[in-house]
Amino acid sequence: TPFLLAPGSSGRSAIDEAIADFHKYTCLRFTPRTNEEAYIKFYQGSGCSSPVGYSGYVNEISIGQGCGYKSIVIHEIMHSLGFYHEQSRPDRDDYVEIVWDNIESGMRYNFDKQSNIDSLGTPYDYRSVMHYGGTAFGIGRPARVTIKAKDKEHVIGQRSGFSQIDLEQLNLRYNC
């Protein structure tokens, strides 16, 4: 997959580290763009974001202020590769509870279930790089809990890198 770092972009080292992890743990390869029409463009936007799924044209990934960490870049690339948030799985209510009243105004859409997610037979992954942390978009300071594990044994979310199940899903989806 070709990629381009837009002029003035920040987070170059985090992007390089994230791509190195994709190369180390999957069969996916990212190469600097030459003249391809379809590519991933990293730019410095107002936050951390990416469309879900590869458009076949230009997929723009925002690596804005505070987003220059390897695991955040991995998370956004995963979106571009077609992965939704783990807590958006159709079966999520079997594993976690969403505390709707604690979510910031206008941010509830981030917790919507997506009926079209195919987890490829993998178990729910509390430790996925695609799972929000327990206080994501929580109101107040410190932020209130917005997601909690039903069994109380699992820590939810992390931003250190791929989980084993993340890698399993990636490698299944892309026939690695």
User: Which residues are tagged catalytic?
Assistant: 76
Rounded Cα distance between 130 and 161, Å, is 10
Rounded Cα distance between 11 and 25, Å, is 21
Is 131 labeled as ligand-binding?
A: no
Angle between helices 12-25 and 70-80 (to 10 degrees): 60
Is 79 labeled as ligand-binding?
A: yes
Single-letter code of the amino acid located at 120 = L
Is 154 labeled as ligand-binding?
A: no
Q: Is 56 exposed, middle or buried (0-12, 13-18, 19+ CB in 10 A)?
A: exposed
Please give the span between the terminal C-alpha atoms of the chain, in angstroms, as a whole number.
Answer: 15
Strand partners, 103: 138
Strand partners, 97: 148
Q: Are 102 and 132 in contact (CB under 8 A)?
A: no
Binding residue numbers for Zn(2+): 75, 79, 85
Binding residue numbers: 75, 79, 85
